[in-house]
């Protein structure tokens, strides 16, 4: 397998993207109407439970969602219709739930039978106590859990269906536009010919003679050129220089993988993580602060969040047309999360690690040769440089690619231009004073600090 | 004046007619490019069926193919942890304190690990006892990745599972309990309180257990003498920093005597402070590392040394000790006078494995009440009991041993009577050997239990009374191995893991409420005051007992004296010794140690007998250099008591006592060894009765041996002023410019100091860091720990014996060893200038400079010249200077012209003649995945055709700077280190920033003793040396 650079694909994507965006504008309004329906239904249902499901949803997301889902076991049990379920199956009333939510540990200690059984069922993971929630708050939450689930699967399916047809029509209309353009162009040509003919007729009618046979005595241009030796010489020189320049340019890019965007074993979208969800780069790439490696996060870091984020729900308005064109549906992303679970050995059913892991073999994108030493900590912690300076708009990258050329010239140039972050750093205090006096400048560049010396990177 | 001495590195240089030496001086690279190797064989070339056209086609195709292939890079995979261990950050090194206690080397050390792989051993500076790692300990990290390791348990050569072995052993142990047959443990010295307790419990459980401790190189006499006087089987300890006068009777205390590790305390006293330094007198047969460092060295036969020792006691005691030849009386008189003068500040040490000699030595130190002599807190690093080893062998032969468990020793190789042992093994029903390699013993036992490396094991050690240290694993077992102690626990039916056992033992016995984790982190634990006072009480008690038994000792002492003086001169004597690089031979499969040049002979990949020049002439043995610079030597057959070693290579050793030959242990191993590493001859065969002095007959054998000796390599071309030395007297009384003159050069027909003339424009280095390195020739003992540390830190390749012989060694740091004669020849230089012939005659006229030369060691690495001659000649600017003082070398830029090496006056540049990694021709650690685990990921592995050299560990200085930047603080003095400076336990190498005026190195630079190597060349090196001061007794 060899690396391939995706420049052309990129351009095609940008073009397609802009077209799709236009169609997006048309489709959004239809979704909005669809979504309104379940909301209304929920409100109706909540009315008989004495709680406000809308407030409840908010509270649920703030307090409960880290460990509970409505229709699915997580760290704790699924909570859809929990009140009814408890009343019917265990004969426990709302009061039991109030005290459980406010102080579960107390109930376990007090020896409540169901409290203990549920505690043991979920690996003795103690539930956080929520003494701050009032009974009314809990009512709201219960109202939310009691609301009939808005059949997410069905909606998603219809959404997908809509989208599919949407993107399909997008394709057709694309051709239609081109077709229309072609027709218009053809019409123009026909009109031009017609006009031309008419004009000629008029001219003939008026007795104007058209010059047609003027060029016969002239020497053809190419012959004249071949006879002029100086011109030939100059052309050859220019041609040689140009091809030498071309060859040099071509050879210079050998081994430079700018734009390299390999397919990874798990489709990890920086756009979703760093862009949409605004997760700090160094939350996952934590060793960039202290080590020469930025580090590919170990899978347990992924699981910090993905223990509870087991499916991709995407934007509230659903996947964009562009995503859909690429096949990035919600199911697609959810499937990628499943790949993560498989790799890390997470048993989703029972919410525990199986211990059977399959380390992920990521394809390395940024690859400096062995003879060049690069230290992330130097640039991130000491130099306070944004990750994006070298890695580009990662938060917009659906597929991670190498943004910078990573050539020595590129490094050197940055060292020449970048100012050293001397402020509040005790290390630089003395050297900054002395050097700024020596060079007569207030700000020092990395180069002035010796950042261009061979041995700083090559040893 | 010191600089007028004639220095020489090799015997050959003393021969004015040796053309080789002259040629070598003139050539930077001994050999021309070996074109003949592939073009010289005309016949083969003519026979070849490849026509010129075909050849061109192949070349064209392969070039095109290679070019096309190079256009697209390979796809690289990165596999992160699934669950990242909390304290591992990829790219950041972790350090763990642990202890090496392999039965011969004992030290508290730090282990540097990267991504969980141990890659470097460092000194544990929190340890006050044995905190320095010698060359072998530094190299032990590579032994962990030895591809010849036993990778799982075996029975009769077949791999088995541990549970099968466990069941077999358990059944046997149970069966033996009432059978009348014994269970025997034959082990190394552990010095481990927990192991001792464990073996005690094991013996208790099975009842019929005998535990025999066996040291391959025995210190039995010293142990027994100490036991007789002080009631405990241990070694008296010495603190040389407290001694003004050290008199050593063949005690190689800078080597392995008494467990070694005396460098730092010795060096402390050797640096002249306030006009004072310690004086060291050394009597010995072989030229040892310690003898080389002595102020006065007296070459003597071991029998004479014994007599001298006895006579000295007599002189000090006021009694007369008769007997022996009288020619040593004069020397003894002088010694006695000096010792009396020094009084309690004198100390006498003895390295003869002779009970009488050791008894007398203890008596002398007691008599002197020497301050450096410590019997209250003795060392436990040798426990071997030779007599019980022989008893065990007798019992084995008699069929009285039912099961034999062997750990940490390789008796089939190290025992002089190995055949008896092997015969005895035949009568033992079950023999289990904890083997590291498939060595001689492993091939003879019924079961092989794969042993863990010490870096994979738990343990503890009490190196010196009251000074405990802990051993912790720094990596999980690489293979299916277990440590001895875990197996003992298992076989006893205990469920306890050895870690818990040690922890439990420490908590109850030593820690006294102290923190286990703290002790583990420090690696060492000093017994608290309360327990200390107990031991002092014990000591008081024992000293009371002592006075009671004094009468007895006096009686035994006089008999000792008598037997010492009655030693008859038994002709040629063989003094067996352990080499700095090889020790007892446990790590013989370690290529770093094989390639490590012996500090004295500068020979690598070999052992040999050392003979004096006079004896060599008598026996017609010779050494000479051949055209490619390699050293050749005769072979000799040596016979001790009927055992003959045939064709032992001969080195003519200046300073070797006439009538003696030396031979080092640790070589000649074959079983379980890689072919390349199976070098030398096995000296243990001559180690009769565990006596390191043997009567020997030597005769010349046929053939010529090719040594891999770097003696004449990289010479500084006789430029002079390389070593500067003076006497303490001169140092104290004369002006610095007398004993440390700044060389002068002629400028506009005026003689001016060389330091004032400058061909280049100077660069302002007053801002930021400016690194300098100070090397004190007084403190440097030549131990070579720095050489191995440099190997490990900088991925220096191993090139093998043949390449070394061709002067292609890759050591970035070499320790030059110079000989000079006692006399100073002031007129030499003038004569040399006047007429070359005259000079040669002068040298010939001298009595014989090789009889007893003075020795100086000088570590030389890249001098990082501010005006570096190498930089100006590089056509591609691959080597350039930094403002911090480093002379940079960009390997990827180097095209291999070798101009730089030619222009380097210090000869510190090394050329990669071949690809030394992933190359079956150099099948050392860089050619297998296991061995490569030791590589330092921060340093490039160089490729063929590039020049390399000491980088001053720029990766370390850069890291120090980065750490300071990250924490927003200035760099503290002492933080800047290089691999060599941090490995130097004697404090000879100091590295730091001279722009920090308060730093140690800045102060050292202002010292009067400071000088630069070849100052007159005007290179302005950033490495400086300190004039060697000898405390000769001329005053």
| Each residue's pLDDT tens digit, A262-284 | 999 999 999 999 988 899 999 99
* Partners of residue A430 in chain B, C-beta under 8 Å: 970
pLDDT, averaged across chain B? 86
- Judged by DSSP in three states, B158 sits in strand
Residue B734: the pLDDT is: 87
Helices (H), A374-417: 376-377, 387-391, 408-417
* Average pLDDT over every residue of B325-334: 78
Interface with chain A: mutation pick from B965, B978, B979, B995, highest number of A CBs within 10 Å: B965
Are B432 and B445 within 8 A, CB to CB?
Answer: yes
Residue A457 has what DSSP assignment? T
Distance from the Cα of B471 to chain A's closest Cα (Å) equals 28
Q: Which residues contact B593 (CB under 8 A, 6 or more apart)?
A: B135, B136, B139, B581, B582, B587, B788
Centre a 10 Å sphere on the Cβ of residue B875 and count the other Cβ atoms it contains. Answer: 9
**Is A451 near chain B, with CB under 8 Å?**
no
Quick one: DSSP state of residue A60? Answer: I
Size of chain B in residues = 1035
Contact list, A431 vs chain B (CB under 8 Å): 767-768
Lowest mean per-residue pLDDT among B28-37, B532-541, B716-725, B849-858: B532-541
B81, B767, B970: residue with CB nearest A434: B767
Q: Could you tell me the CA-to-CA distances from B589 to B145, B593, B931 in Å, in that order?
A: 11, 8, 12
Element (H, E) at B93: strand B93-101
Place of tokens 């070039």: B63
- pLDDT value of residue A160: 40
Residue A447: exposure state from Cβ atoms within 10 A (0-12, 13-18, ≥19): middle
Q: What is the pLDDT of residue B291?
A: 93
**What is the pLDDT, as a whole number, of residue A15?**
46
Nearest-angstrom CA–CA distance, A348 and B832: 89
Interface mutation vs chain A, best among B67, B69, B75, B812, most A CBs within 10 Å: B75
Token pair belonging to A314? 């995407």
Q: Which of B306, B317, B311, B318 is nearest to B366 (CA)?
A: B317
Q: Residue B693 pLDDT more than 60?
A: yes
- φ/ψ of B425, rounded to 5, equals -60, -35
Confidence at residue B325, expressed as pLDDT on a 0 to 100 scale: 62
Q: What is the pLDDT of residue B262?
A: 92
Q: Calculate mean pLDDT across residues B451-470.
A: 93
Q: How high is the pLDDT of residue B45?
A: 65
pLDDT digits (tens, 9 = 90+) for B986-1032: 999 999 999 999 999 999 999 999 999 988 888 889 999 999 999 88
Pairwise CA distance, residues B168 & B977, whole Å: 52
Query: Among A327-341, B158-172, B310-324, B728-742, which stretch is predicted with the lowest mean pLDDT?
Result: B310-324
Q: What's the pLDDT at A38?
A: 45
pLDDT at B41: 62
- Confidence (pLDDT) at B38: 57
With cut-offs at 50, 70 and 90, classify the pLDDT of residue A163: very low
Residues in chain B within 8 Å Cβ distance of A385: none
Residue pair A53/A139 in contact by the 8 Å Cβ criterion: no
Checking if the pLDDT of B541 tops 50, the result is: no
* Architecture of domain B573-709 in this structure: Beta Barrel (2.40)
Does residue B261 contact residue B382 with C-beta atoms inside 8 Å?
Answer: no
Residue A27 is predicted with a pLDDT of 43
* Helix, strand, coil fractions of chain B, as percent rounded to 5: 35, 20, 40
Query: Which of A367, A377, A425 is closest, CB to CB, to B968?
Result: A425
What is the mean pLDDT of the segment spanning B948-955?
94
- Dihedral, CA of residue B737, residue B739, residue B745 and residue B747, to nearest 10: 10
Q: Which residue has the tokens 């419990």?
A: B201
Across A15-24, B128-137, B327-336, least confident range: A15-24
Is the Cβ pair A291, B81 closer than 8 Å? no
| Confidence check: pLDDT of B532 > 80 | no
Which segments of A354-448 does DSSP mark as H helices, in order?
376-377, 387-391, 408-417, 428-439
Cα–Cα distance measured from residue B910 to residue B898, given in angstroms and rounded to the nearest whole number: 9
For β-strands B430-435 and B117-123, DSSP reports them as unpaired
Distance CA B623, CA A102 (A): 92
pLDDT, tens digit, for every residue of B874-915? 999 999 998 899 999 999 999 999 999 999 988 899 999 999
Token pair belonging to B1003 = 């102060």
Interface test with A, best of B85, B90, B936, B950 (most A CBs within 10 A): B90
Candidate from B83, B91, B878 with C-beta closest to A298: B83
Q: Taking a C-beta distance cutoff of 8 angstroms, is the pair B581, B667 a contact? A: no
CB–CB of B880/B762 below 8 Å?
Answer: no
Tens digit of each residue's pLDDT (9 = 90 or more) over A222-251: 888 888 889 999 999 999 999 999 999 888
Q: Note which residues in 308-337 of chain A have CB less than 8 A from chain B.
A: none
**In the prediction, which pLDDT does A88 show?**
81
The answer on pLDDT for A47 being more than 60 is no
Test A459 with B79 for CB contact under 8 angstroms.
no
Per-residue model confidence as pLDDT tens digits over B406-437: 999 999 999 999 999 999 999 999 999 999 99
Say if residues B603 and B651 touch (Cβ distance below 8 Å). Answer: yes
Asked if A450's CB is within 8 angstroms of B768's CB, the reply is yes
The CATH 1.10.760.10 domain(s) of chain A lie at 48-150
Q: Binning pLDDT at 50, 70 and 90, where does residue B529 land?
A: low
Q: Sorting pLDDT into bands at 50, 70 and 90, what band is B739?
A: confident
Best mutation target among A358, A454, A457 (most B Cβ atoms within 10 Å) is A454
Compare CB distances from A450 to B78, B884, B941 and report the shortest one's residue.
B884
**Residue B524: CB partners within 8 Å, gap ≥ 6?**
B97, B108, B124, B126, B127, B128, B129, B131, B467, B468, B469, B470
Task: Please tell me the pTM assigned to this model.
Answer: 0.83
Q: What is the dihedral of CA A422, A425, A429, A435, to 10 degrees?
A: -30
pLDDT bucket at A17, cuts 50 / 70 / 90: very low
Burial class (CB in 10 A: 0-12, 13-18, 19+), A40: exposed
pLDDT for position A98: 85
Range in A208-217, A366-375, B271-280, B967-976 the model is least confident about: A208-217
In CATH terms, B2-25+715-1030 corresponds, of 3.30.470.20, 3.40.50.920, 3.40.50.720, 3.30.70.20, to: 3.30.70.20
Burial class (CB within 10 angstroms; exposed 0-12, middle 13-18, buried 19+) of B688: middle
In chain B, % of residues over pLDDT 70? 88
Contact A287 B92 (CB under 8 A): yes
3-state secondary structure of A106: helix
* Angle between helical axes of B484-491 and B162-176 (0-180°, round to 10): 60
Q: Do B92 and A291 touch (CB under 8 A)?
A: yes
Q: What is the pLDDT of residue B542?
A: 47
Name the DSSP letter for residue A262: P
Give, to the nearest 10 degrees, the angle between helix A7-47 and helix A152-206.
130
Q: How far apart are the first and last CA of chain B?
A: 16
Cβ–Cβ of B892/A2 closer than 8 Å?
no
Q: How far apart are CA B183 and CA B164, in angstroms?
A: 19
| pLDDT of residue B820 exceeding 90 | no
Residues of B in contact with A439 (CB under 8 A): none
Q: What is the pLDDT of residue B479?
A: 94
The pLDDT of residue B317 is: 82
- B-chain CB neighbours of A372 within 8 Å are 892
pLDDT confidence tier of residue A217, bands split at 50, 70 and 90: low
Chain A segment 344-363 residues within 8 A of B by beta carbon are 344-345, 357, 359-363
Query: Do residues B289 and B783 touch, judged by C-beta distance below 8 A?
Result: yes
Contact (CB<8Å) B80/A429: no
Instruction: Tell me which residue has tokens 């007028």.
Output: B4
Q: Which of B149-163, B314-328, B466-480, B606-620 is predicted least confidently? A: B314-328
Say if residue B552's pLDDT is above 60: no
Instruction: Over range B158-176, report the average pLDDT.
Output: 91
Q: Give the minimum alpha-carbon distance from B891 to chain A in angstroms, rounded to a whole number.
A: 7
Domain boundaries, chain B: 2-25+715-1030, 154-218+384-526, 231-379, 573-709
Determine the Cα–Cα distance for residues B484 and B457; give it in Å rounded to an integer: 9
CB neighbour list of residue A169: distance below 8 Å, 6 or more residues apart? A23
pLDDT score at B346? 92
How far from B35 is each of B24, B29, B39, B41, B944, CA to CA, in Å?
20, 15, 6, 10, 16
Q: What span, in angstroms and rounded, lies between the C-alpha atoms of B683 and B705?
A: 18
Surface of A (278-297) touching B: CB under 8 A: 287, 290-293, 295-297
Minimal Cα distance from A424: which residue of B? Answer: B968
Q: Which two tokens stand for residue B747?
A: 């400028």
Give CA–CA dist A253/B979, Å, rounded: 39
Phi, psi for residue B770 in degrees, rounded to 5: -135, 105
| SS3 category, B193 | helix
Cross-chain Cβ contact B965/A454 below 8 Å: no
**Cβ pair A456:B889 closer than 8 A:** no
Q: How confident is the model at residue A2 (pLDDT cuts 50, 70, 90)?
A: very low
More confident residue, A1 or A433: A433
- Asked whether the beta carbons of residue B81 and residue A299 sit closer than 8 angstroms, the reply is yes
Distance from CA of B952 to the nearest CA of A (A): 10
Ordered strands of the B106-114 beta sheet: B93-101, B106-114, B117-123
> Domain B231-379's class?
alpha beta
Mean pLDDT of the A123-137 span: 82
- Residue B527: pLDDT over 50: yes
Q: Decide: B1019 and B868 in contact? Cβ < 8 Å.
A: yes
Cα B662 from Cα A132, distance rounded (Å): 86
* From A3, A300, A453, residue closest to B83, measured CB to CB: A300
Reduced to 3 states, what is the DSSP secondary structure of residue A40? Answer: helix
Looking at the structure, give the CATH architecture of the domain made up of residues B154-218+384-526: 3-Layer(aba) Sandwich (3.40)
Q: Has residue B253 got a pLDDT over 90?
A: yes
**B199 half-sphere exposure, CB direction, 13 A CA radius:** 22
For position A25, what pLDDT does the model report? 41
As a whole-number percent, the residues of chain A with pLDDT over 90 amount to 30
Q: Are residues B965 and A424, on separate chains, in Cβ contact within 8 Å? A: no
pLDDT of res. A211: 60
* Contact call for residues B377 and B466 (beta carbons, < 8 A): yes
Which chain B residue lies closest to A341 (C-alpha atoms)?
Answer: B82
CA distance A377 to chain B (A): 8
* pLDDT single digits (tens) B595-652: 999 999 999 999 999 999 889 999 999 888 887 778 899 999 999 988 999 999 999 9
CA distance A274 to A388: 11
By mean pLDDT, which of B37-51, B333-347, B638-652 is the weakest? Answer: B37-51
pLDDT at B858 over 70: yes
Query: Do B969 and A434 count as a contact with CB atoms less than 8 A apart?
Result: no
pLDDT, position B649: 94
Query: Tokens at residue B44, please?
Result: 């083969």
Enter the ipTM: 0.83
Q: What is the fold, at CATH topology level, of the domain defined by A48-150? A: Cytochrome Bc1 Complex; Chain D, domain 2 (1.10.760)
Residue A368 to residue A346: CA distance in whole angstroms: 34
E strands in B177-243 = 182-187, 209-213, 235-238
Both tokens assigned to B812: 């970035």
So what's the pLDDT on residue B861? 94
Instruction: Give the per-residue pLDDT at B324.
Output: 59
B572-587 pLDDT tens trace? 999 999 999 999 999 9
pLDDT at B33: 58
Chain B nearest CA to A132, separation (Å): 34
Q: A264 to chain B: nearest residue by CA? A: B77
Rg of chain A over Cα atoms, rounded to whole angstroms, equals 34
Over the range B763-778, which residues count as b (16 or more CB within 10 Å of their CB) and which as e? Answer: eebebbbbbbbbbbbb
Residue B861 makes CB contacts below 8 A (sequence gap 6+) with B790, B812, B813, B814, B908, B949, B950, B952, B980, B1023
Whole-number pLDDT of residue A52: 80
pLDDT at A311: 85
**Residues B176-186 as b or e (16 or more Cβ within 10 Å = b):** beeeebbbbbb
Q: What pLDDT is attached to residue B29?
A: 62
B279-284 sheet: strands from edge to edge: B296-299, B279-284, B245-249, B346-350
In this structure, of A129-143, A312-326, B497-511, B953-967, the range with the lowest mean pLDDT score is A312-326
Closest in A2, A357, A455 to B82, CB measured: A357
> Higher pLDDT residue, B830 or A316?
A316
- The answer to whether residues B739 and B731 touch, using CB atoms and an 8 Å cutoff, is yes
């Amino acid at each position: 397998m060899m690396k391939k650079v995706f420049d052309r694909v990129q351009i095609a994507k940008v073009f397609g993207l802009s077209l799709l965006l236009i169609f997006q504008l048309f489709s959004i309004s239809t979704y909005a109407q669809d979504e309104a329906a379940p909301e209304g239904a929920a409100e109706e249902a909540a009315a008989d439970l004495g709680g406000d499901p809308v407030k409840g949803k908010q509270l649920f997301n703030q307090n409960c969602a880290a460990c509970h889902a409505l229709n699915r076991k997580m760290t704790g049990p699924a909570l859809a219709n929990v009140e009814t379920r408890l009343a019917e199956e265990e004969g426990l009333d709302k009061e039991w739930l109030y005290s459980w939510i406010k102080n579960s540990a107390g109930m376990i200690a007090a020896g409540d039978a169901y409290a203990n059984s549920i505690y043991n069922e979920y690996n003795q993971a103690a539930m956080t106590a929520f003494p701050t929630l009032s009974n009314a708050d809990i009512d709201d939450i219960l109202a939310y859990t009691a609301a009939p689930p808005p059949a997410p699967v069905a909606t998603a399916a219809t959404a997908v269906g809509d989208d599919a047809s949407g993107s399909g029509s997008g394709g057709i209309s694309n051709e239609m536009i081109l077709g229309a353009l072609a027709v218009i162009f053809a019409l123009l040509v026909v009109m031009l010919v017609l006009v031309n003919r008419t004009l000629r007729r008029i001219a003939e009618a008026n007795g104007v003679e058209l010059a047609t046979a003027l060029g016969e005595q002239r020497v053809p241009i190419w012959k004249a050129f071949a006879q002029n030796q100086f011109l030939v010489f100059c052309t050859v020189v220019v041609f040689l220089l140009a091809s030498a320049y071309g060859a040099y340019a071509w050879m210079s890019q050998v081994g430079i993988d700018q734009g390299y965007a390999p397919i990874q074993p798990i489709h990890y979208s920086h756009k979703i993580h760093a862009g949409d969800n605004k997760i700090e780069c160094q939350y996952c790439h934590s060793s960039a602060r202290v080590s020469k490696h930025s580090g590919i996060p170990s899978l347990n870091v992924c699981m910090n969040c993905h223990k509870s984020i087991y499916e991709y729900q995407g934007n509230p308005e659903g996947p964009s047309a562009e995503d859909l064109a690429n096949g990035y549906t919600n199911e697609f992303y959810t499937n990628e999360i499943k790949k993560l679970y498989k790799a890390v050995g997470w048993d989703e059913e029972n919410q525990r690690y199986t211990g059977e892991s399959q380390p992920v073999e990521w394809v390395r994108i940024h690859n400096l040769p062995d003879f060049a030493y690069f230290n992330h900590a130097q640039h991130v912690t000491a130099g306070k440089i944004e990750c994006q300076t070298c890695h580009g708009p990662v938060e917009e990258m659906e597929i991670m690619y190498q943004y910078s050329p990573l050539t020595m010239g590129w490094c050197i140039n940055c060292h020449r231009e970048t100012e050293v972050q001397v402020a509040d750093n005790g290390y630089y205090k003395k050297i900054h004073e002395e050097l700024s006096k020596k060079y007569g400048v207030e700000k020092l560049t990395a180069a002035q600090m010796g950042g261009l010396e061979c041995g700083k990177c090559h040893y | 004046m010191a600089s007028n001495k004639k220095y020489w590195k090799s015997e050959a240089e003393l021969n004015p007619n040796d053309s080789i030496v002259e040629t070598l001086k003139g050539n930077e690279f001994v050999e021309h490019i070996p074109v003949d190797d592939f073009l010289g064989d005309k016949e083969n070339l003519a026979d070849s069926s490849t026509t010129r056209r075909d050849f061109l086609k192949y070349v064209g195709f392969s070039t095109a193919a290679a070019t096309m292939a190079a256009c697209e890079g390979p796809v690289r995979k990165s596999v992160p942890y699934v669950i990242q261990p909390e304290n591992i950050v990829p790219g950041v090194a972790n350090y763990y304190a642990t202890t090496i206690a392999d039965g011969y080397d004992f030290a508290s050390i730090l282990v540097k690990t990267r991504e969980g792989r141990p890659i470097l051993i460092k000194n544990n500076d929190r340890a006050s006892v044995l905190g320095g790692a010698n060359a072998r300990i530094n190299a032990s990290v590579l032994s962990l990745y030895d591809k010849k390791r036993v990778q799982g348990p075996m029975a009769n050569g077949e791999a088995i599972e541990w549970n099968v072995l466990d069941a077999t052993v358990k059944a046997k142990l149970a069966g033996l309990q009432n059978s009348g047959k014994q269970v025997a443990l034959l082990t190394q010295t552990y010095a481990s309180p927990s192991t001792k307790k464990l073996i005690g419990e094991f013996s208790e459980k099975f009842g019929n257990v005998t535990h025999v401790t066996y040291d391959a190189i025995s210190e039995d006499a010293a142990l027994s003498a100490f036991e007789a006087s002080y009631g405990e089987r241990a070694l008296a300890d010495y603190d040389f920093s407290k001694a003004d006068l050290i008199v050593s009777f063949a005690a190689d205390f800078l080597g392995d005597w008494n467990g070694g590790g005396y460098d730092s305390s010795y060096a402390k006293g050797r640096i002249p402070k306030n006009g004072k330094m310690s004086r060291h007198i050394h009597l010995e047969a072989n030229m040892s590392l310690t003898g080389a460092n002595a102020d006065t060295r007296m070459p003597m036969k071991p029998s004479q040394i014994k007599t001298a020792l006895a006579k000295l006691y007599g002189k000090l005691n006021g009694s007369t000790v008769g007997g022996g030849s009288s020619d040593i009386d004069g020397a003894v008189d002088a010694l006695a006078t000096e010792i009396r003068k020094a009084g309690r500040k004198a100390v006498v040490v003895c390295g003869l494995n002779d009970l009488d000699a050791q008894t007398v030595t203890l008596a002398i130190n007691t008599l002197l009440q020497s301050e450096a002599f410590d019997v209250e807190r003795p060392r436990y690093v040798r426990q071997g009991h030779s007599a019980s080893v022989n008893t065990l062998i007798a019992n084995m032969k008699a069929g009285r041993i039912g099961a034999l468990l062997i750990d940490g020793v390789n008796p089939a190789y190290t025992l002089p009577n190995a055949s008896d042992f092997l015969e005895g093994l035949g009568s033992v029903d079950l023999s289990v050997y904890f083997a590291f390699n498939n060595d001689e013993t492993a091939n003879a036992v019924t079961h092989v239990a794969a042993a863990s490396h010490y870096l994979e094991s738990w343990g503890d050690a009490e190196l010196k009374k009251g000074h405990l240290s802990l051993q912790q694993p720094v990596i999980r077992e690489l293979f299916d191995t277990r440590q001895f102690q875990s197996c003992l626990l298992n076989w006893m039916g205990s469920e306890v893991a050895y870690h818990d056992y040690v922890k439990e033992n420490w908590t109850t016995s030593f820690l006294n409420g102290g923190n286990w984790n703290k002790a583990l982190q420090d690696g060492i634990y000093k017994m608290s005051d309360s327990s200390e006072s107990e031991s002092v009480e014990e000591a008081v008690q024992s000293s009371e007992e002592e006075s009671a038994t004094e009468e007895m000792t006096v009686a035994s002492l006089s008999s000792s004296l008598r037997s010492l003086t009655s030693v008859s001169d038994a002709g040629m004597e063989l003094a067996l010794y352990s080499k700095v690089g090889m020790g007892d031979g446990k790590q013989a499969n370690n290529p770093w140690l094989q390639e490590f040049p012996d500090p004295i002979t500068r020979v690598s990949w070999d052992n040999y007998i050392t003979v004096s020049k006079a004896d060599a002439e008598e026996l017609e043995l010779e050494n000479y250099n051949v055209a490619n610079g390699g050293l050749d030597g005769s072979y000799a057959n040596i016979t001790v008591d009927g055992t003959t070693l045939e064709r032992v290579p001969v080195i003519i050793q200046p300073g070797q006592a006439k009538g003696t030959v030396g031979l080092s242990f640790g070589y000649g191993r074959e079983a379980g060894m890689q072919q390349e590493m199976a070098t030398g001859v096995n000296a243990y065969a001559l180690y009769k009765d565990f006596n390191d002095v043997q009567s020997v007959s030597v005769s010349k054998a046929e053939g010529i041996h090719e040594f891999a000796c770097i003696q004449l390599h990289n010479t500084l071309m006789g430029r002079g002023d390389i070593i500067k030395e003076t006497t303490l007297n001169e140092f104290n009384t004369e002006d610095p410019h007398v004993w440390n003159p700044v060389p002068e050069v002629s400028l506009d027909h005026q003689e001016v100091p060389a330091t004032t003339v400058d061909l280049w424009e100077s660069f302002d280095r007053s801002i930021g860091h400016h690194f300098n390195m100070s090397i004190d020739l007084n403190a440097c003992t030549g131990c070579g720990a720095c050489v191995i540390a440099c190997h490990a830190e900088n991925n220096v390749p191993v090139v093998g014996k043949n390449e070394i012989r061709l002067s292609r060694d890759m050591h970035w740091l070499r320790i030059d060893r110079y000989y000079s004669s006692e006399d100073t020849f002031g007129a030499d230089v003038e004569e040399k200038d006047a007429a070359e012939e005259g000079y040669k005659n002068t040298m010939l006229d001298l009595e014989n400079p090789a009889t007893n030369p003075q020795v100086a060691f000088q570590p030389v690495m890249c001098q990082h010249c501010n005006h570096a001659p190498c930089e100006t000649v590089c056509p591609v600017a691959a080597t350039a200077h930094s403002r911090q003082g480093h002379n940079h070398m960009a390997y990827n830029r180097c095209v291999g012209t070798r101009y730089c090496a030619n222009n380097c006056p210090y000869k510190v540049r090394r050329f990669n003649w071949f690809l030394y990694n992933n190359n079956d021709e150099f099948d050392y650690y860089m050619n297998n995945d296991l061995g490569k685990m030791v590589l330092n990921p921060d340093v490039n592995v160089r490729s063929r055709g590039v020049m390399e050299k000491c980088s001053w560990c720029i990766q370390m200085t850069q890291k120090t700077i980065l750490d300071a930047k990250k924490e927003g603080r200035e760099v503290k003095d002492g933080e800047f280190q290089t691999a060599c400076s941090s490995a130097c336990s004697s404090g000879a190498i100091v590295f730091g920033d001279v722009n920090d005026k308060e730093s140690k190195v800045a102060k050292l630079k202002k010292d009067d003793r400071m000088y630069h190597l070849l100052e007159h060349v005007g290179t302005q090196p950033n490495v400086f040396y300190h004039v060697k001061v000898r405390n000769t007794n001329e005053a």
